[in-house]
């Protein structure tokens, strides 16, 4: 996004963006900083502080262009007063393991931050602010994408407390004290994030450049060109990755069965952001866990293949974007001495696909419109129904 702005902008330009390690792009006028994701680190903290410094003291004659995409919640990390980076790292790690949805996680993150939840946008005032965003969240809510640093935040301190309680997260003392003080209000309590209608954000502009639905529409067009019938299951699917995988596996089995009324080949397409509640000690992101559960639900159903990947090129914290399965995936796993059910119970989908050689490794794509899933059902060898 920064490289595109540099290419198209003709006037004076300076700026700073932060992205994940290894995901930067060559820019001349905009500085690119790489930092930690999904867990925040010192590089992200320092970059966030510098961003606030850059927008301090602007006038109504200035223009600020905000470039926002998924991952910003971790990358743009500036702890609020009284909260340390270590505190935020602890809470982030617990949230990632808890199974909380992205909106819930970002509600907490915003109330532990000095820059997210509209605070960066408010700091730009009275300059004109235009935000360009890529959505990686179900529902495309601007306040959820990267924890909405430039838009108003409808959530509250009490909302953040409710999330921690719902998922049984034992927050560090400083985090608990900040959230409880903010929820109680009164003299000395931390200020809430800017809310809808806030004067400092009233005249800002938000432009959505791309959404998960756009990726699915492009996939539909590609499928039709290949003579495959597309069926979109949704662009905002949430829930446990293994549960969604099991449901999609049952659906694919039905399509592969007799008298479905659907012309084969067909491809079931979906997007969204599933979650993984860590109960084991294994490795693997939500797309790999989805696929392993899908393979188990298919029970080696013939003529069904599937792919699932994160469009930014990284599934969770591993080096793969996702993986793929074929009708013989379970049989090959057993022949290799693997127990697919045991690996799923241990949240170890990475080992399953790595041992089979079926990881999808793309490298950084430098964009992010959430997860992409495709389940292909082809006609049986006897011919087309």
List pLDDT tens digits, range 268-316.
999 999 999 999 999 999 999 999 999 999 988 999 999 999 999 999 8
List pLDDT tens digits, range 100-125.
999 999 999 999 999 999 999 999 99
| Cα 349–Cα 350–Cα 356 angle in degrees, nearest 5 | 95
List pLDDT tens digits, range 317-366.
889 999 999 999 999 999 999 999 999 999 999 999 999 999 999 999 99
Mean pLDDT (whole number) for 136-150: 96
pLDDT at 119: 98
List pLDDT tens digits, range 232-270.
999 999 999 999 999 999 999 998 875 455 689 999 999
Burial (CB count <10 Å: 0-12, 13-18, 19+), residue 294: buried
| Joined tokens for residue 289 | 């866990």
Element (H, E) at 245: helix 241-256
Q: Is the pLDDT of residue 382 over 80?
A: no
Q: Is the pLDDT of residue 75 over 70?
A: yes
Average pLDDT value for the chain: 94
Tell me the domains of the chain and their CATH numbers.
2-210 (3.40.50.10180), 212-377 (3.40.1480.10)
pLDDT at 383: 47
Cα separation of 247 and 260, whole Å? Answer: 17
List pLDDT tens digits, range 184-195.
999 999 999 999
Residue 254 contacts by C-beta under 8 Å, 6 or more apart in sequence?
260
């Amino acid at each position: 996004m920064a490289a595109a702005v540099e290419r198209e902008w003709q006037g004076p330009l300076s700026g700073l963006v932060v992205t994940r390690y290894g995901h930067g792009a060559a820019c001349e006028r905009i500085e690119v900083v790489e930092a930690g994701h999904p867990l925040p680190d010192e590089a992200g903290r320092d970059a966030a502080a510098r961003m606030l410094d850059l927008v301090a003291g602007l006038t109504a004659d200035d223009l600020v262009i905000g470039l926002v995409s998924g991952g910003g919640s971790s990358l743009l990390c500036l702890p609020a007063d009284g909260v340390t980076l270590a505190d935020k790292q602890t809470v982030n790690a617990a949230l990632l393991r808890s199974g909380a949805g992205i909106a819930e996680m970002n509600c907490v993150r915003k109330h532990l931050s000095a820059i997210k939840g509209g605070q960066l946008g408010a700091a730009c005032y009275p300059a004109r602010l235009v935000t360009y965003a890529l959505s990686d969240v179900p529902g495309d809510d601007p306040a959820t994408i990267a924890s909405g640093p430039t838009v108003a935040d409808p959530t509250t301190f009490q909302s953040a407390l409710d999330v921690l309680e719902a998922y049984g997260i034992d927050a560090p003392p400083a985090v608990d004290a900040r959230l409880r003080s903010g929820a109680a209000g009164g003299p000395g309590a931390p200020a809430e994030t800017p809310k809808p209608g806030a004067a400092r954000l009233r005249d800002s502009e938000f432009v959505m450049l791309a959404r998960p639905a756009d990726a699915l529409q492009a996939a539909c067009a590609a499928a039709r060109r290949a003579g495959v019938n597309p069926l979109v299951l949704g662009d905002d699917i949430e829930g446990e990755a293994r549960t969604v995988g099991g449901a999609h596996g049952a659906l694919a089995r039905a399509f592969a069965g007799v008298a479905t009324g659907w012309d084969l080949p067909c491809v079931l397409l979906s997007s969204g952001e599933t979650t993984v509640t860590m109960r084991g000690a294994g490795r693997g992101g939500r797309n790999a866990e989805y696929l392993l559960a899908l393979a188990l639900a298919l029970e080696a159903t013939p003529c069904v293949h599937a792919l699932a990947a994160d469009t930014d090129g990284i599934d969770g914290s591993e080096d793969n974007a996702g993986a793929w399965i074929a009708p013989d995936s379970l049989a090959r796993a057993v022949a290799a001495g693997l127990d697919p059910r045991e690996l799923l119970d241990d949240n170890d989908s990475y080992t399953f696909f790595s041992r089979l050689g079926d990881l999808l490794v793309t490298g950084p794509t430098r964009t992010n419109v959430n997860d992409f899933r495709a389940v292909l059902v082809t006609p049986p060898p006897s011919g087309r129904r």
